[in-house]
Amino acid sequence: MNLLKAGFSRVNATPPLGIGIRGYFKPRIADGVLDELEINTLALAVEDKKVLLISFDNCGMSRVTSDWFRAYVAEQAGVDPQAVFISCTHTHQGPFIASPDDQESDTEGLSLSDPLIQEYSHFARGRMADGARMALADLQDAKMGFATGIAPHISFVRRFRMKDGSVATNPGPNNPNVVGPIGEVDERVHVLRFDREKDSLILVNFGTHPDVIGGNKISADWPGFLRRTVEKTLDNTKCIFFNGAQGDVNHVNVFPKGGDENDMFLDFDDVPRGYAHSRYMGRVVAGGVLQAFDKVEYKDVDSLRYAMKEVEIPSQMPRPEELPEAHRINDLHQAGRDADLPWRGMMLTTKVAEAGRMVKLEHGPDHFDMHMSAVAIGDVALVGIPGEPFTGIGLGLKAAEGWRGVLPVCLTNGGDGYFPMKEAYDEGGYETQSSPFAPETAQLLITEGCALLDTLR
């Protein structure tokens, strides 16, 4: 028997100009808006059990800030705090966000106590609570279908073996020193379709970085184009997007051919970017949705389950002999003197990020306590990961037994750094050198995530 109800809401979350933009290791101040930021909420219910799946156009928020949001949303909406699933899309054109108690140090030269950041954070938290109440008020009978499409040739491994034996992240297009990529891409676009009497709600899960635009203007990046394209193409639909395992993949095609480089410019970190390319990516992912939409497999949903588990993640603390050089690099960077360092482009970003990680962890902690979250809708589940997992983690979770589909979702109920695969630490590169987490973390997340799913079967 099908007992599922589904509701949807969308609220605007565009910040004021002048606020700091998060996403790079240099200050950026918003001086315009390319398109609006949104908070999209999918409310689900089976009898008296309710869940809120919230997608926020933001780069990410710490556990402290996420807990602050989640507790308020739960109180205002009248639901269990563990039933609030907040995921950031990871646009690199969104503002800093922080609770009054957030002490995060990765602020790119900006203070989290800045009045604009604090004002916006309170505004966004209130809007998220509004959206939650609106989505619950919109609950209607719904049947759910699941299917998978493909989004080809827009997501690429961004870690490469170089001719000198080193590993580089985003080494730049047509770099003659590249040997080949390290890793794999998951091009699957997972689609959950919720049909109601007069419309359909579409949940999309696909993993790659929304860092396609650059500059100082606010934008939802390609997830915004995805939502708008789907809704313009399919009548009477609303689209919500949840980013997947995207820590080691992005839009950069190191071996472009034909028109691959159309509408792009080479940015400060040797990464090609462009707003029109963001539009292109949104259209391609929308194409994956269209492949799946009419061919979803419908099944009755008679149960809705959710769970949250605190996981102890070991940290990657520096060795004592590494600290003097780390402090020197970090001091120069914080003083705005990157020109005095010997690196440029992505290598500069890598060295600055590594030094910042070492300084931050000089006195510990030796581990981090993080939330993993899961929601089961019948025989399909979402697993929330509080950071940026490599593709391998997503593949490990998708392989969990007993499910029609498992959708890994990054930056959920926290977002505290990269989760690389163990072998990547021996290879090096931006993600592992900047990650605060120890090499065994990837397998730990897969194991704990699958165990969490087992509790919901």
pLDDT value at residue 308:
97
**pLDDT number for residue 381:** 98
Burial 317-335 (b: 16+ CB within 10 A, else e): bbeeeebeebeebbebbee
pTM for this model (two decimals)? 0.95
Amino acid 104: pLDDT: 65
| Residue 26: CB atoms within 10 Å | 15
Averaged pLDDT for residues 135-152: 98
Q: What is the mean pLDDT of the chain?
A: 96
Comparing 202-216, 269-283, 333-347, 362-376, the range with the smallest average pLDDT is: 333-347
Determine the pLDDT at residue 345.
85
Is the four-CA dihedral 65, 67, 68, 73 of positive or negative sign? positive
Name the 3-class secondary structure at 47.
Answer: coil
Sign of the four-CA dihedral 198, 306, 9, 217: negative
- Per cent of the chain over pLDDT 70 is 99
**Dihedral sign, CA of 137, 411, 400, 182?**
positive
pLDDT above 60 for 198:
yes
**Per-residue pLDDT, 39:** 99
Instruction: Give the other-Cβ count within 10 Å of 289's Cβ.
Output: 27
CB atoms within 10 A of CB 357: 23
pLDDT for 342 beyond 60 = yes
What's the half-sphere exposure (Cβ side, CA atoms, 13 Å) at 318?
A: 20
Domain parsing of the chain, residue ranges: 4-310+366-456, 318-360
Residue 416: the pLDDT is: 81
- Both tokens of residue 282? 């949104």
Quick check: 332 and 355 in contact, CB under 8 A? Answer: no
Q: How confident is the model at residue 110 (pLDDT cuts 50, 70, 90)?
A: confident
| Cβ atoms of 272 and 265 closer than 8 Å | yes
Percent of the chain with pLDDT over 90: 93
Task: Give me 235's structure tokens.
Answer: 């009548």
Q: What is the pLDDT of residues 393-413, one digit of tens each?
A: 999 999 999 999 999 999 999
Please state which of the ranges 109-123, 132-146, 176-190, 371-385 shows the lowest mean pLDDT: 109-123
CB burial readout 417-437, b (16+ within 10 A) else e: bbbbbbebbebbbbbbbbbbb
Q: What integer is the mean pLDDT of 450-457?
A: 96
